[in-house]
Structure 1
Amino acid sequence: MGADVVLRARRTVVGGRETSASVHVRGERIVAVEAYDALVPEGARVVDLADDEVLLPGLVDSHVHVNEPGRTEWEGFASATRAAAAGGVTTIIDMPLNSIPPTVNVAALEEKRAVARDQAYVDVGFWGGAIPGNVPDLKPLFDEGVFGFKCFLLHSGVDEFPHLEPDQLEEAMRETGSLDALMIVHAEDSHAIDHAAAADGEEYDRFLHSRPRGAENLAIAQVIELARWTGARAHILHLSSSDALPMIRSARADGVRLTVETCPHYLSFTAEEIPDGATEFKCCPPIREAENRELLWGGLVEGAIDIVVTDHSPCTEDLKRFDTGDFGQAWGGIAGLQVGLAAVWTGARQRGHALTDVVRWMATGPADQTGLTDRGRIEPGAMANFAVFAPDEAFTVEISHLHHKNPVSAYAGRTLTGVVRQTWLHGTPVDLDADPRGRLLTRGQS
């Protein structure tokens, strides 16, 4: 079968292993994966990777807050997708908040798609939202191609996206179960947090105790039981409490349809190293202790945690309240879309894990979770989306080099290992100085 382009790499992640290969591309898709020195089809252009580069599939990040329309000063489709491309991410799925309107009905979805259509440097899909009273909107949204539905079990941080009480969550999950749609849950129990210590002030330890592990554990147990009763598919967002791992394992052993994610910041940072007043580290649920971090790594390696996604949740500089350093008042969210791959690889290699593991956690796994099974892998028939990655090159994160809109990053000044030198989308390198070529995706359609 003919090819337009052949990418040759001494190191390529293919089929869960690292090998030398030549990847043959025709149009937008991979048509063959051959030996490194295989015959090049007549007329094909050859792209040889450097000896220190590895060809990876483009990453899929299924947890990104773009915030446009409505809070475009926080982030927007142009800036977010530029950051994604710079970080080797070729597909993002946008969360239904913090945009205004939130994506809780078809009209809001259409408004968001209209804004995103001509701005995306990578491919973009959308989650719908489940809020009180919108169960009748879930099927129409699903029919329109959202990848599933997000809900909160406590205040979301924005009033236009209210949380579900337990009876409302059950009602929504019975509906998503009938659709075989995925319900993705911000799992912290509102009543437990209402009774926890207040978060006000500069002390990180005080903020940490305002979002206790118990609140997360309790909510996850509730989601598990509702998934068990309803038969619905459930996904736990941004797991930060390692205490929940035993019940996750037990639920799966019982056949509960449950998947789990964690994020680069939970695998990278520890509560002990966060200075008081350093509100760039505030996120919810919070970054916890070093021992907890290592247990999360263990859960990831054993498979209790399925995927790693960024939960890219940026805001304007003033909302982080650097003027006061007050964790109670600062917006909770970490902008990590551009550096997620490097952050996870830095931690993974320190613990003896391979690039094949990182690809499973950040590319193949999220692609499979969202049904985009022709992404996140290098194989015939897959989209020709790639990241050219230099795994041994170190760099220090500088705010000025990040493409997201606001100069706020928990990673600023941190030395990471692994540089994305080029990102390919649809068989062609992404050019951030050219017009964007990303597409809007619907469930079941690439």
Structure 2
Amino acid sequence: MLELLVRGGTLVTPAGERRADLGITGGQLVEVGEELTGAATRTLDAAGLHVFPGGLDVHVHLNEPGRTHWEGFETGTRALAAGGATSFFDMPLNSSPPVLDAATFQEKRALGEAKSLLDFGLWGGLTPLNLDKLDELAGAGVIGFKAFMSNSGLDEFPAADDATLYEGLRAAKRLGLPVAVHAESEPLTRHFSELARARGAHTAREYLETRPVLAELEAVQRALLYAGELGAKLHLVHLSSGAAVALALEARARGVDVSTETCPHYLHFTEADLERVGAALKCAPPLRPQAVQDDLWAALLRGEIDMVGSDHSPAPPDRKTSENFFALWGGVSGAQSTLSVLLTDGHARRGLPLAALAALSALNPARRFGLPQKGALEVGRDADFALVELGREWTLTREDLQDRWKQNPYVGSTFSGQVRATYLRGQPIFQGDQFDGAGRGRLLTPRRSAGAV
């Protein structure tokens, strides 16, 4: 007896699309095939809908504990679920205290297990303050280590200088875990910012000039050099340019174990939108000119980018309000819109195959970070999926948003394809505009030394 039978949907699989049913028992997929005949306790009619593997967002800032008023597990995971995600990785900074040792890891883990609607993994920090704590973080179950190569904006999470990054990569190699880096050159961004402030710069355009693509490329090259020398696993987060992706590909061809991530806001918006919209689109690296975005899309369509993560990084309205653009908190609230951007800007407008879209949002993250139970609609994996009405045109309103402050810059955008329901381990988390708050997410811990995507 199946616990749930999902009938008549079009499955999005690594091999392409196929009409098939899903048989689910014990939270896992136990049968996948056409017109399954087994009896089931519950039946779900998915006719006319596409069934995507549940999204795994590898880059989220939910800020709990300590800054729950910015965003927390309850509201953040509602937003993720409404966007078709079933799992996520939370970054170690912005929460207070940040995740720099086993004790802070366990504190955040307990809050996630009590409040998260979705399964979750936790990044640990890599800073000059905690090089001696990486072993205990690995033992606690971190997905990997996150380092900033430029100022994080928080004194309690300082940037990793060259020696810290090198030694952190060395330790991560020994521990069989990846290091994720925010790759912008601190010397360059600090120099350009100091020059701008000295002349009284305060506009969005002047902010853009302080963080050029050059600063990203310099840091990416340095991180790749260290990772290659040490044989360590490197993950480049939120790349904003095709040129940065090209550097990673060249290094991979030389044997460097590197994966790449970009974000929906780099794919949907340009620097012209930043000047139009303002604070809701401030981020680092910043949005780029149209030509740079075109190169980024070209790289993605060629299969050269491994995954797309939201980098959901919200803040209260008072941190997003100032006449001085430099004083605004840098972060985009977009956890709910990642799949919408890929479906619309990718599939509908540029012909991105649905199988490639599912790989970017689910399969590749699961493979890279050692989670064989996630990422695809296959027997033996967790029954995580999203039901999508593929051709539906709809416009995002503020009332649709589920995150705490509803400052999503995609409001007013018209999308093609809408999430109708999200299921985690066979249980409905989101249906229409309703949430089932009974389920709670589980901690995801990686299989060490996972393979390349």
* TM-score between the two structures when normalised by the length of structure 2: 0.93
Which residue in 1 is equivalent to 2:349? 350
Alpha-carbon distance in structure 2 between the residues aligned to 1:67 and 1:374: 26
Percent identity over the alignment? 38
Q: In structure 2, what residue type is equivalent to 1:32?
A: E
Alpha-carbon distance in structure 1 between the residues aligned to 2:40 and 2:109: 38
Name the stretch that deviates more: 120-129 or 40-49.
Answer: 40-49
Deviation string, structure 1 residues 236-280 (Cα, Å, up to 9, x no partner): 110002222332221011001111100000011111233357111
Q: Indicate if the aligned counterparts of 1:308 and 1:361 stay in contact, CA closer than 8 A.
A: yes
Give 1:202 deviation, angstroms: 5.6
Which residue in 2 is equivalent to 1:50? 47
Which residue in 2 is equivalent to 1:329? 327
Which residue in 2 is equivalent to 1:444? 447
Note the 1:79-228 alignment, pairs <5 A: 79-197=75-193, 198=196, 203-228=203-228
Q: Indicate if the aligned counterparts of 1:277 and 1:327 stay in contact, CA closer than 8 A.
A: no
Which residue in 2 is equivalent to 1:240? 240
Give the secondary-structure state (helix, strand or coil) at the position aligned to 1:70: coil
The answer as to 2:312 corresponding to 1:309 is no
Q: Indicate if the aligned counterparts of 1:92 and 1:124 stay in contact, CA closer than 8 A.
A: yes
Deviation string, structure 1 residues 141-163 (Cα, Å, up to 9, x no partner): 10111000000011101111001
Alpha-carbon distance in structure 1 between the residues aligned to 2:149 and 2:332: 20
The answer as to 2:397 corresponding to 1:398 is yes
The answer as to 2:420 corresponding to 1:424 is no
Q: Indicate if the aligned counterparts of 1:66 and 1:80 stay in contact, CA closer than 8 A.
A: yes
Q: Indicate if the aligned counterparts of 1:15 and 1:379 stay in contact, CA closer than 8 A.
A: no
Give the secondary-structure state (helix, strand or coil) at the position aligned to 2:68: coil
Give the secondary-structure state (helix, strand or coil) at the position aligned to 2:114: coil
Give the secondary-structure state (helix, strand or coil) at the position aligned to 2:386: strand
Which residue in 2 is equivalent to 1:70? 66
Note the 1:266-281 alignment, pairs <5 A: 266-276=266-276, 278-281=278-281
Alpha-carbon distance in structure 1 between the residues aligned to 2:249 and 2:14: 26
Deviation string, structure 1 residues 43-75 (Cα, Å, up to 9, x no partner): 453322132x10111100010001011111100
Give the secondary-structure state (helix, strand or coil) at the position aligned to 1:377: coil
The answer as to 2:434 corresponding to 1:435 is no
Which residue in 2 is equivalent to 1:20? 19
Kindly tell me the number of residue pairs found equivalent between the two proteins. Answer: 439
Q: In structure 1, what residue type is equivalent to 2:176?
A: D
Alpha-carbon distance in structure 1 between the residues aligned to 2:303 and 2:225: 21
Q: In structure 1, what residue type is equivalent to 2:64?
A: E
Alpha-carbon distance in structure 1 between the residues aligned to 2:380 and 2:50: 21
Q: Report the CA distance shift for 1:47/1:276 in structure 2 as closer, same or farther (over 3 A).
A: closer
Alpha-carbon distance in structure 1 between the residues aligned to 2:301 and 2:4: 35
Which residue in 2 is equivalent to 1:286? 286
Deviation string, structure 1 residues 6-65 (Cα, Å, up to 9, x no partner): 212341112331010011111200011111x24x213453322132x1011110001000
Alpha-carbon distance in structure 2 between the residues aligned to 1:43 and 1:287: 49
Alpha-carbon distance in structure 1 between the residues aligned to 2:256 and 2:104: 32
Q: In structure 1, what residue type is equivalent to 2:124?
A: G
Give the secondary-structure state (helix, strand or coil) at the position aligned to 1:140: helix
Name the stretch that deviates more: 220-229 or 191-200.
Answer: 191-200
Name the stretch that deviates more: 365-374 or 282-291.
Answer: 365-374
Give 1:101 deviation, angstroms: 0.6
Q: Indicate if the aligned counterparts of 1:395 and 1:415 stay in contact, CA closer than 8 A.
A: yes
Give 1:181 deviation, angstroms: 1.0
Alpha-carbon distance in structure 1 between the residues aligned to 2:265 and 2:15: 25
Q: Indicate if the aligned counterparts of 2:13 and 2:358 stay in contact, CA closer than 8 A.
A: no
Give the secondary-structure state (helix, strand or coil) at the position aligned to 2:98: coil
Alpha-carbon distance in structure 1 between the residues aligned to 2:108 and 2:137: 13
Name the stretch that deviates more: 67-76 or 5-14.
Answer: 5-14
Which residue in 1 is equivalent to 2:299? 299
Which residue in 2 is equivalent to 1:11? 10
Give 1:94 deviation, angstroms: 0.6
Runs of 4+ in 1 over 4 A off after TM superposition: 199-202
Note the 1:404-419 alignment, pairs <5 A: 404-419=403-418
Give 1:302 deviation, angstroms: 2.1
Alpha-carbon distance in structure 1 between the residues aligned to 2:367 and 2:373: 9
Alpha-carbon distance in structure 1 between the residues aligned to 2:10 and 2:287: 34
Q: In structure 2, what residue type is equivalent to 1:25?
A: I
Alpha-carbon distance in structure 2 between the residues aligned to 1:190 and 1:299: 26
Q: Indicate if the aligned counterparts of 1:202 and 1:277 stay in contact, CA closer than 8 A.
A: no
Deviation string, structure 1 residues 275-328 (Cα, Å, up to 9, x no partner): 35711110100110111111111112223211101011011111111x52x320
Alpha-carbon distance in structure 2 between the residues aligned to 1:277 and 1:337: 18
* TM-score between the two structures when normalised by the length of structure 1: 0.95
Deviation string, structure 1 residues 375-423 (Cα, Å, up to 9, x no partner): 1100000100110011211222212221110131111211122211101
Q: Indicate if the aligned counterparts of 2:274 and 2:287 stay in contact, CA closer than 8 A.
A: no
Q: Indicate if the aligned counterparts of 2:2 and 2:41 stay in contact, CA closer than 8 A.
A: yes
Q: Indicate if the aligned counterparts of 1:395 and 1:417 stay in contact, CA closer than 8 A.
A: yes
Query: Which runs of 5 or more residues in structure 1 are unaligned?
Result: none
Give the secondary-structure state (helix, strand or coil) at the position aligned to 1:367: helix
Q: Indicate if the aligned counterparts of 2:280 and 2:333 stay in contact, CA closer than 8 A.
A: no
Q: Indicate if the aligned counterparts of 1:28 and 1:384 stay in contact, CA closer than 8 A.
A: yes
Q: Report the CA distance shift for 1:277/1:86 in structure 2 as closer, same or farther (over 3 A).
A: closer
Which residue in 1 is equivalent to 2:451? none
Give the secondary-structure state (helix, strand or coil) at the position aligned to 1:23: strand
Q: Indicate if the aligned counterparts of 2:149 and 2:161 stay in contact, CA closer than 8 A.
A: yes
Give the secondary-structure state (helix, strand or coil) at the position aligned to 1:429: strand
